[in-house]
């Protein structure tokens, strides 16, 4: 395999440190946030130390350099997801990206294709992260539109058997995750997109758990909007992306208003700048966007297909080793098909928080709880789970360390 984890790990300075009294850091929480390579850390630092100025204004060299760096990052991000530059909007987070669409739809006046009324419906799924549920739930509340959702079966897959009753001619928007942040399930978008477009609805894709891990092409997916966060894709915190089809972004009203996003202003009126500026009010998060550009470049150089192939192999190994532990219940697809490198589980009656604490004492970082997907936890009949999420810097040694720590936890909590 051309992909070398040992080589990749050298790019990430955090792996030079040890954890909990000299133990090797086994970082299995990339589903929450990824570690950063030097390329990203240096890009952000260089922006501040060499090029810092407010973009899109200022009659000086630094302003030119800052604008070039910021717009250059937009170009890299656009290429990374197969989009046009003018369709890429920088936000502060994926959460903001999704809220942007939801609030902008709420601002749409009658006659605008995005205007919602009580006869319309909004469709989500039971496996959404709160960031792709609550904005829609609350938009439904504000507009009177009906909120409908696909349920999740015990096989950890979306139940699409009633797709024609869930997505109907009343449906204006279908918001769905590409890959579940808890189950690891990769959703069958083709069927959902096809049905949504049949009835004239737009599809908003939460791609937070897919863009960092696999090759994503917005045109091939056929969705209408896509959101992802920078920090889960080895980029900085404080930057997210919203991509939308040009003609839809043109018709969508703005969300945040203020400087930078206007064309002409009087005391009582304003008109909007073209997309993407229409959706980027205020001086943007320039250094973070530049850092995200460096992150996408770093990932592109490794090759997203190579990253995905590495994760598939590692997931297969993890599923085999983890499921062999007595008392384990994997909450997510058991077969290594249409799933990502996120493995959630429960271990007998040991509470996930106690498991997390024990494995941390062994240098293994996992997440525990409902993972911001509380309705999903209820649907799967678990109060909480332990989640190990793998990424490009993890290897089989990390899986072995997790398994050893889990066996240790069993012994530790079985002592009374």
| Residues making contact with another protein (CB under 8 A) | 351-354, 357-358, 361, 368-370, 374, 377, 383-384, 412-413, 415-416
* In the complex, least distance from residue 346 CB atom to another protein, rounded to whole angstroms: 12
Q: What angle do CA 384, 388, 389 make, to 5 degrees?
A: 120
- Give catalytic status of residue 372 as yes or no: yes
Helical segments of 88-221, H only:
94-107, 134-143, 163-166, 189-198, 218-221
Instruction: Give the separation between CA 174 and CA 382, rounded to whole angstroms.
Output: 27
Instruction: Give the separation between CA 25 and CA 282, rounded to whole angstroms.
Output: 39
* In the complex, least distance from residue 32 CB atom to another protein, rounded to whole angstroms: 12
Determine the distance from the C-alpha atom of residue 409 to the mean position of all C-alpha atoms in its chain, rounded to a whole number.
31
- Compare residues 72 and 369 and give the one whose CB is closer to another protein: 369
Q: How far are the Cα atoms of 249, 353, 412 from residue 387, in angstroms, in the given order?
A: 36, 11, 20
* In the complex, least distance from residue 331 CB atom to another protein, rounded to whole angstroms: 14
- Compare residues 17 and 415 and give the one whose CB is closer to another protein: 415
Report whether 47 contacts 290 (CB < 8 A).
yes
* In the complex, least distance from residue 353 CB atom to another protein, rounded to whole angstroms: 4
- Compare residues 327 and 383 and give the one whose CB is closer to another protein: 383
Question: Residue 377's closest CA among 175, 204, 95, 128?
Answer: 128
- Compare residues 61 and 357 and give the one whose CB is closer to another protein: 357
Q: Name the phi and psi angles at 130, rounded to 5.
A: -50, -30
Neighbours of 265 (CB within 10 A): 10
- Compare residues 299 and 350 and give the one whose CB is closer to another protein: 350
* In the complex, least distance from residue 354 CB atom to another protein, rounded to whole angstroms: 5
Q: Pick the catalytic residue: 347, 372, 392, 399?
A: 372
Instruction: Give the separation between CA 405 and CA 390, rounded to whole angstroms.
Output: 16
Task: Catalogue the active-site residues.
Answer: 372
């Amino acid at each position: 395999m051309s992909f070398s984890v040992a080589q990749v790990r050298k790019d990430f300075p955090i792996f030079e440190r040890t954890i909990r009294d000299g133990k090797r850091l086994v970082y299995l929480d990339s589903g929450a946030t990824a570690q950063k390579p030097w390329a990203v850390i240096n890009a952000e630092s260089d922006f501040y130390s060499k090029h810092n100025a407010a973009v899109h204004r200022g009659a000086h060299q630094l302003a030119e350099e800052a604008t070039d760096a910021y717009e250059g990052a937009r170009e890299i991000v656009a290429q990374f997801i197969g989009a046009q530059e003018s369709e890429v909007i920088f936000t502060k987070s994926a959460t903001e990206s999704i809220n942007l669409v939801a609030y902008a739809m709420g601002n749409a006046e009658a006659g605008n294709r995005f205007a919602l009324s009580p006869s319309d419906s909004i469709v989500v799924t039971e496996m959404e992260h709160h960031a792709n549920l609550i904005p829609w739930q609350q938009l439904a509340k504000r507009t009177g539109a009906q909120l409908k959702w696909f349920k999740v079966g015990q096989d950890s897959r979306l139940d699409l058997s009633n797709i024609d009753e869930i997505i109907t001619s009343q449906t204006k928007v279908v918001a769905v995750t590409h890959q579940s942040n808890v189950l690891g399930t990769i959703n069958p978008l083709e069927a959902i997109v096809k049905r949504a477009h049949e009835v004239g609805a737009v599809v908003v894709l939460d791609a937070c758990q897919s863009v960092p891990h696999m090759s994503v092409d917005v045109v091939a997916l056929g969705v209408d909007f896509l959101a992802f966060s920078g920090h889960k894709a080895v980029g900085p915190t404080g930057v997210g992306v919203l991509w939308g089809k040009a003609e839809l972004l043109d018709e969508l009203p703005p969300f945040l208003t203020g400087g930078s996003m206007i064309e002409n202003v009087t005391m009582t009126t304003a008109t909007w700048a073209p997309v993407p500026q229409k959706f980027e009010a205020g001086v943007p998060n320039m250094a973070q966007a530049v850092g995200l550009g460096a992150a996408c470049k770093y990932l592109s150089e490794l090759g997203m297909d190579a990253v995905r192939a590495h994760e598939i192999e590692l997931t297969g190994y993890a599923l085999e080793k983890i499921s062999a532990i007595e008392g384990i219940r994997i909450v997510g697809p058991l077969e290594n098909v249409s799933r990502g490198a996120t493995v959630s589980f429960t271990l007998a009656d040991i509470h996930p928080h106690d498991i997390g604490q024990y494995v941390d004492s062994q240098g293994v970082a996992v997440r525990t709880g409902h993972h911001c997907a509380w309705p999903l936890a209820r649907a799967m009949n678990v109060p909480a789970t332990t989640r190990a999420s793998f990424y490009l810097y993890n290897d089989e040694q990390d899986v072995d360390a997790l398994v050893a720590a889990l066996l240790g936890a069993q012994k530790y909590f079985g002592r009374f």
